[in-house]
């Protein structure tokens, strides 16, 4: 039984087919990169795995540790260990980062049959994990993502990941909008969270993230299908020759340099 | 949370007071017949052994009430009330008629108390368990009333104050909300059942939140409550009315009046949590809550602050207001109003700037779910003499579901060029992005809504006294249960 | 209920005048309308939508709908002409052919004084005239409907774009009696058509009268109408007006209405959105002094999904004047994805001035974006000081700030004749203040 098994996945949004038969086998502890130009279906893949409404699976199946992932509610998937680092983290005014995470961590713990963390232990835990991402106390107290810079938002996503300790982390364009320093902090954070029992799907448009987070496998997504699969060298190839080599038009590809 | 140490003596006091007024001995004859006429008004007054002036005041109010019509301008809809088909005086229930222990109480009610985290002893009081049965087991600790007496604070039922401090009551009663004020206030003036009187003398900072008392007594304040709070020069008092626990009451119509008077340099903080029975999912049987609340900042540098969390009642009609007479006086209104199922709320405030350099702040958060209708209605008025008046109003509405309504009706009347009035309002819904984000982090949809709503209400909730803020947060979640499918 | 106002006299005057009113086919509509008015009477401040405007000055004295008026004393109106526009002039309530001028029009376009259209174009008017503006709960519209006599009829066939703006100039030159004028404009824009209409109201200094105008506008799919209104009535006049707009799918209505004249004025605009993609912008305001009273009342009724409205109103008040802004936004249950914003600001220049604002939102749908804001205050002290510190005299500095304030309305109009026409009213107002 593989850790995550995606078979012939077809997904439509508003009646329009976005994913047209995705196959993906992910072993425990493996890091897979999914690369592709804009509009290839990268975000759709991350949303359908995490259970967002409006993404209709028209064919295929997704087994997560042998269980049918597609039948689970989003919060059940989170409890089961699926974590999505959002491309555009959402603001929740008036709710502090800590309150939010305490609610989330305890909700997940409850479903995993663990006891609630009390306020003191939670704070200790949060500070511990915060150090990995260089999260200052002040960031923890601010409302979720409100008034955060782009880099702070992405750091916050990885910090939350550290807190929730998922077994499958999906990073959706975590590198977009980051300068070099922020990219370093974020990817170092991710690397620290890389353990033998945690798998990751790293979705990105650009190769540069993969210099920091070195994947075990790379898949190239175009028009809703994987058009190439390979090792990390595939990313470099793509970087050098562009998406065109795979017969893909990408107007934004030139930015990759 | 454990009940504050002050609780016990109050309970004792409450327990005693029933005997003191001899309700027990004559209880069966203490029902006035249905309907309202001058005899009923006289009957109520006689039962309370009121002085002649108060009876006269009630009668004048009653006669004036006969000339008035029920107001129709609010955005609420309810069947015509037959004012002759109601009881205007009923003595409290005897202990032997009440449940003798929590085991006899509706388990659904207890479940809600549990969710709100209300301590067992208080659950018993709220559920109407016979007082003796509950409090025999509560140990008597420090002296609550003594502490207040020491500070010179008068804090008692208004019916008692009429006997013990008649000069104060006569001096201030009806000076903020005159008996002619409006249909419901006039009715209240004629038939008010009981309520609270507070007097804080010059320079005294009331040594405790006047909240615990109400937690205990709230269940029995009657349908025409009357509250009068006077803060003399340089004094401070924080008063909390109501209860996060759902309160059941057979009386459908509630028409309370609250009057606040702040002298020079005084500050009154008045917080309310209203959670009267909202009726069933179709709104049947819920309370009509038609309240007149007004404070006057009489002296310079005085301050009145209203904070309300309105989650109950089938129909709410309520505009806690401030008349800012003294120079530099400050009025504040912080409100959270939730309507779910068939609930309707038309609530807001009036800030009337009379004196120079007066300031007011209005923060209103309306949440509509189910088929609820939620209206903010607020007046900001700066009179010609109110030079330097300032107002800031922020009114936000949140919609959950597509069958509810959120309405904002501000009235801004400014007659002075040296004043600044600003009003901002937004209406939005809980975004799918926010819901999904929370769910992705492991929260179920109801937890997610509760969290987002609490964030939305943050600016108001932080104004509540600490021990209540926690319960109020839970209350928001409980109120919205079932609003997301 | 005993009426202390002139309702009875008005009913009587209608009976006397009805025979002389144009368009026999409209007789039944008139009868119905006058009886509606008779039942309802004038609105009073007890009516929530008239809370801040009391019509007592109008209801207490008598205005005559049809007085014999001596011909023009040679009053000169050319300064109010918008150059390059087709022009219909309504003088003392009736079409004045000499002052009017209409050039060649695209095929099928009806652009006529209403009195002419009533007698000749029944087919084109039926189904539109007195059908768009409802008389229910609108006694002043009912009254206007009963007395319809002249004004504008503009009917645009599908796909026609009018290159020249159309100006309707209403002038009153009568000093011997107090006239009651009930001008009516009808604008029907077919699918994909577009036009600009300018309504200008003015009178000679010695005239005292009451203008009670109604403008009915219906826009077909993807049609676009820009309505510019300059209310420069003489200071002794009263002005009440209602503009009712109905928008079909993707239609766009854009209006700018500025009031600088009249002792008492009320300008009400009601827009109903009946098709997805419809959009409206309502901009306006008032410049007031002495004891003038100006009321701008709006209602944007979003009935269907995906519609947008934007309202911008600015009032400047000097002396003892009083402004009212009642902005209404209704979002009905089916009107998901409505996007609506509303902004009202009031500038008080004198201790006696008074501004009332009631920006109202009524929302019955959940997936909407609605925001409104209202402010009342005096000139920004800091800005004033800043200008002075740069050597600008205080009077000039104030004028600059006032112009900038009202400029937020003017800038909604394209540069050129339209902005100049309304801008002239602003500078006229500013100039008149300098002498005082």
Task: Convert the pLDDT of each residue in B324-383 to its tens digit.
Answer: 999 999 999 999 999 988 889 999 999 999 999 999 999 999 999 888 899 999 999 999
* pLDDT over 70 percentage in chain A: 95
pTM: 0.81
CB-CB contact of B384 with C344 (8 Å): no
The C-alpha atoms of residue C8 and residue C13 are separated, in whole angstroms, by 9
The C-alpha atoms of residue A76 and residue B127 are separated, in whole angstroms, by 37
Pairing outcome for strands B236-242 and B405-414: unpaired
Do A and B make contact, counting contact as 3+ CB pairs within 8 angstroms? yes
The C-alpha atoms of residue C191 and residue C223 are separated, in whole angstroms, by 5
Compute CA B413 distance to the chain's CA centroid, rounded to the nearest angstrom. Answer: 27
Tokens of B452: 């987002």
Phi first, then psi: what are they for C88, rounded to 5°? -120, 125
Residue B253 pLDDT greater than 60, yes or no: yes
Q: What is the ipTM of this complex?
A: 0.86
* pLDDT over 90 percentage in chain B: 42
Indicate yes or no: CB of C372 within 8 angstroms of CB of B405.
no
Nearest to C354 among B73, B415, B420 (CB): B415
Residue B19 pLDDT greater than 60, yes or no: no
More confident residue, B104 or B305: B305
Match 């609630």 to its residue by tokens. A116
Give, in order, the Cα–Cα distances in Å from C16 to each of C29, C37, C60, C212, C436: 17, 16, 21, 19, 45
For residue B406, the chain C residue with the least C-alpha distance is C363
The DSSP output letter for C60 is: H
Q: What is the mean pLDDT of residues B67-83?
A: 85
More confident residue, A215 or B99: A215
What is chain C's pLDDT, residue by residue, as a tens digit (436 residues)? 445 678 888 999 899 888 888 888 999 999 999 999 999 999 999 888 999 999 999 998 888 887 666 666 667 899 999 999 999 999 999 999 999 999 999 999 999 999 999 988 777 888 899 999 988 889 999 999 999 999 999 999 999 999 999 999 999 988 788 999 999 999 999 999 999 999 999 998 888 899 999 999 999 999 999 999 999 999 999 999 999 999 999 999 999 999 999 999 999 999 999 999 999 999 999 999 999 999 999 999 999 999 999 999 999 999 999 999 999 999 998 998 899 999 999 999 998 999 999 998 899 888 888 888 888 988 888 888 878 888 788 888 888 899 999 999 999 999 999 999 999 999 999 888 764 4
3-state secondary structure B143-179: CHHHHHHHHCCEEEEHHHHHHHCHHHHHHHCCCCCCC
The C-alpha atoms of residue B478 and residue B460 are separated, in whole angstroms, by 18
The C-alpha atoms of residue B313 and residue B345 are separated, in whole angstroms, by 8
Q: What is the mean pLDDT of residues B435-461?
A: 91
Q: What is the pLDDT of residues A144-187, one digit of tens each?
A: 888 888 888 999 999 999 999 999 999 999 888 788 888 888 89
B421 touching C (Cβ < 8 Å): yes
For residue C48, the chain B residue with the least C-alpha distance is B73
The C-alpha atoms of residue C191 and residue C248 are separated, in whole angstroms, by 9
Match 């993502």 to its residue by tokens. A145
Residue B54 pLDDT greater than 70, yes or no: yes
Pairing outcome for strands B288-297 and B253-254: parallel
**Separation in Å, CA of B429 to nearest CA in chain A:** 12
Residue B25 pLDDT greater than 50, yes or no: no
- Of A200-209, B123-132, B165-174, C365-374, the range with the lowest mean pLDDT is B123-132
Q: What is the pLDDT of residues B377-406, one digit of tens each?
A: 999 999 999 999 999 999 999 988 888 899
What pLDDT was estimated at residue B120?
65
> Which helix H or strand E contains A216, and what residues bound it?
none
Burial tier of B195 (Cβ tally within 10 Å: 0-12, 13-18, 19+)? buried
The C-alpha atoms of residue C102 and residue C167 are separated, in whole angstroms, by 10
A121 touching B (Cβ < 8 Å): no
What pLDDT was estimated at residue B48?
85
Compute CA C81 distance to the chain's CA centroid, rounded to the nearest angstrom. Answer: 18
**Confidence band (pLDDT; 50, 70, 90) for B7?**
very low
The C-alpha atoms of residue A154 and residue A184 are separated, in whole angstroms, by 12
3-state helix vs strand vs coil in chain B, percent to 5: 30, 30, 40
More confident residue, B209 or C310: C310
Tokens of B33: 């017949």
* A-B C-beta contacts closer than 8 Å: 81
Q: What is the mean pLDDT of chain A?
A: 88
Give, in order, the Cα–Cα distances in Å from B186 to each of B61, B260, B293: 6, 17, 13
Compute CA A78 distance to the chain's CA centroid, rounded to the nearest angstrom. Answer: 12
Residue B121 pLDDT greater than 70, yes or no: no
What pLDDT was estimated at residue A191?
92
Nearest to B427 among C348, C368, C374 (CB): C368
CB-CB contact of B38 with B61 (8 Å): no
The C-alpha atoms of residue C366 and residue B428 are separated, in whole angstroms, by 7
The C-alpha atoms of residue C338 and residue C336 are separated, in whole angstroms, by 5
The C-alpha atoms of residue B455 and residue C368 are separated, in whole angstroms, by 20
Chain A residues closer than 8 Å to B458 by CB: 93-95
Strand intervals (E) in B53-134: none
């Amino acid at each position: 039984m593989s850790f995550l098994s995606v078979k012939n996945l077809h997904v439509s949004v508003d009646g329009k087919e976005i994913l047209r038969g995705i196959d993906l086998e992910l072993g425990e502890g493996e890091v897979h990169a999914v690369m592709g130009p804009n509009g290839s279906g990268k975000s759709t893949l991350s949303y359908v795995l995490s259970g967002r409404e409006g993404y209709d699976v028209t064919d295929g199946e997704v087994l997560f540790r042998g269980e049918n992932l597609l039948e689970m509610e989003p919060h059940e998937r989170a409890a089961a260990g699926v974590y999505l680092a959002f491309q555009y983290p959402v603001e929740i005014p008036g709710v502090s980062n800590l309150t939010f995470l305490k609610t989330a961590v305890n909700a997940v713990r409850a479903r995993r049959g663990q006891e609630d963390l009390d306020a003191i232990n939670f704070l200790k835990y949060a500070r511990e994990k915060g150090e990995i991402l260089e999260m200052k106390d002040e960031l923890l107290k601010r409302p979720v993502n409100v008034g955060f810079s782009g880099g702070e938002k992405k750091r916050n996503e990885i910090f939350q990941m550290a807190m929730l300790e998922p077994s499958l982390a999906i990073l959706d364009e975590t590198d977009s909008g980051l300068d070099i320093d922020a990219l370093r902090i974020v990817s170092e954070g991710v690397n620290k969270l890389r353990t033998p029992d945690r798998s990751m799907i790293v979705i990105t448009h650009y190769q540069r993230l993969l210099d920091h987070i070195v994947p075990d496998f790379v898949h190239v997504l175009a028009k809703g299908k994987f058009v190439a699969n390979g090792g990390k060298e595939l990313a470099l190839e793509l970087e050098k020759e562009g998406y065109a080599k795979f017969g893909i038009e990408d107007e934004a590809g030139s930015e990759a340099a | 949370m454990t009940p504050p140490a002050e609780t016990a003596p109050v309970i004792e006091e409450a327990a005693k007071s029933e005997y003191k007024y001899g309700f027990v001995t004559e209880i069966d004859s203490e029902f006035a017949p249905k309907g309202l006429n001058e005899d009923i008004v006289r009957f109520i007054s006689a039962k309370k052994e009121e002085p002649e002036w108060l009876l006269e005041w009630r009668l004048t109010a009653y006669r004036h009430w006969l000339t008035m019509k029920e107001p129709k301008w609010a955005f609420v809809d309810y069947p015509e009330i037959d004012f002759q088909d109601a009881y205007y005086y009923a003595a409290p229930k005897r202990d032997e008629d009440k449940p003798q222990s929590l085991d006899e109480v509706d388990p659904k009610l207890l479940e809600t108390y549990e969710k709100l985290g209300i301590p067992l002893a208080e659950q018993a009081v709220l559920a109407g368990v016979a007082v003796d049965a509950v409090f025999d087991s509560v140990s008597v600790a420090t002296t609550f009333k003594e502490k207040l007496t020491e500070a010179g604070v008068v804090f008692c039922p208004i019916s008692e104050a009429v006997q013990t401090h008649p000069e104060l009551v006569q001096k201030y009663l009806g000076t903020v909300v005159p008996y002619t004020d409006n249909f419901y206030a006039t009715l209240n003036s004629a038939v008010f059942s009981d309520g609270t009187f507070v007097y804080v003398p010059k320079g005294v900072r009331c040594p405790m939140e006047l909240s615990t008392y109400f937690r205990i007594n709230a269940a029995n304040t009657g349908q025409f409550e009357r509250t009068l709070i006077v803060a003399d020069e340089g004094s401070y008092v924080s008063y909390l009315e109501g209860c996060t626990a759902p309160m059941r009451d057979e009386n459908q119509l509630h028409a309370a009046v609250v009057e606040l008077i702040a002298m020079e340099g005084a500050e009154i903080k008045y917080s309310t949590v209203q959670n009267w029975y909202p009726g069933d999912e179709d709104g049947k049987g819920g309370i009509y809550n038609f309240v007149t609340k007004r404070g006057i900042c009489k002296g310079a540098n005085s301050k009145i602050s209203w904070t309300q969390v309105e989650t109950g009642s089938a129909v709410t009609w309520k505009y806690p207001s401030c008349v800012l007479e003294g120079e530099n006086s400050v009025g504040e209104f912080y409100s959270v109003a939730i309507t779910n199922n068939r609930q309707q709320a038309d609530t807001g405030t009036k800030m009337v700037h009379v004196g120079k350099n007066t300031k007011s702040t209005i923060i209103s958060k309306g949440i509509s779910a189910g088929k609820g209708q939620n209206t903010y209605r607020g007046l900001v008025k700066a009179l010609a003499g109110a030079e330097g008046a300032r107002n800031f109003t922020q009114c936000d509405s949140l919609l959950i579901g597509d069958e509810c309504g959120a309405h904002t009706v501000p009235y801004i009347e400014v007659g002075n060029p040296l004043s600044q009035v600003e009003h901002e309002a937004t209406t939005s819904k809980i975004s799918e992005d926010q819901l999904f984000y929370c769910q992705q982090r492991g929260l179920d949809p109801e937890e997610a809504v509760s969290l987002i709503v609490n964030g939305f209400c943050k600016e108001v909730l932080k104004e509540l006294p600490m021990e209540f803020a926690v319960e109020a947060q839970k209350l928001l979640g409980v109120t919205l249960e079932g609003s997301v499918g | 209920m005993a009426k202390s106002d002139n309702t009875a006299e008005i009913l009587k005057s209608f009976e006397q005048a009805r025979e002389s009113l144009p368009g026999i086919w409209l007789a039944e509509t008139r009868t119905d309308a006058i009886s509606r008015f008779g039942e309802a009477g004038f609105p009073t401040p007890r009516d929530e939508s008239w809370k801040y405007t009391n019509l007592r000055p109008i209801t207490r004295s008598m205005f005559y709908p049809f007085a014999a008026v001596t011909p023009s004393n040679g009053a000169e109106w050319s300064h109010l002409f918008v150059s390059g526009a087709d022009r219909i002039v309504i003088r003392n309530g009736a079409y004045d052919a000499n002052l009017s001028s209409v050039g060649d029009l695209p095929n099928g376009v009806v652009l006529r004084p209403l009195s002419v259209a009533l007698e000749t174009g029944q087919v084109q008017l039926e189904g539109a005239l007195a059908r768009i503006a409802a008389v229910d709960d609108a006694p002043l519209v009912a009254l206007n409907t009963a007395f319809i006599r002249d004004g504008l009829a503009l009917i645009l066939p599908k796909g026609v774009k009018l290159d020249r703006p159309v100006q309707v100039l209403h002038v009153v030159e009568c000093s011997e009696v107090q006239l009651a004028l009930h001008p009516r404009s009808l604008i029907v824009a077919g699918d994909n058509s577009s036009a600009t209409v300018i309504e200008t109201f003015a009178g000679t200094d010695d005239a005292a009268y009451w203008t009670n105008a109604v403008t009915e506008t219906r826009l077909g799919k993807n049609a676009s109408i820009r309505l510019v209104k300059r209310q420069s009535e003489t200071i002794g006049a009263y002005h009440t007006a209602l503009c009712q707009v109905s928008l079909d799918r993707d239609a766009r209505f854009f209006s700018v209405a500025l009031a600088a004249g009249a002792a008492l004025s009320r300008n009400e605009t009601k827009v109903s959105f009946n098709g997805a993609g419809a959009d409206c912008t309502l901009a306006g305001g008032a410049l007031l002094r002495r004891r003038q009273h100006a009321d701008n009342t709006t209602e944007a009724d979003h009935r269907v999904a995906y519609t947008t409205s934007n309202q911008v109103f600015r009032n400047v008040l000097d002396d003892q004047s009083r402004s009212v802004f009642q902005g209404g936004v209704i979002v009905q249950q089916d009107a998901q994805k409505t996007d609506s914003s509303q902004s009202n600001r009031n500038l008080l220049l004198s201790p006696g001035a008074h501004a009332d604002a009631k920006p109202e939102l009524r929302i019955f749908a959940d997936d909407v974006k609605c925001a409104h804001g209202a402010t009342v205050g005096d000139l920004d002290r800091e800005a004033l000081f800043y200008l002075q510190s740069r050597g600008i005299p205080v009077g000039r500095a104030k004028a600059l700030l006032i112009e900038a304030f009202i400029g937020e309305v003017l800038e909604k109009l394209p540069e050129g004749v339209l902005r100049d026409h309304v801008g002239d009213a602003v500078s006229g107002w500013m100039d008149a203040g300098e002498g005082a």
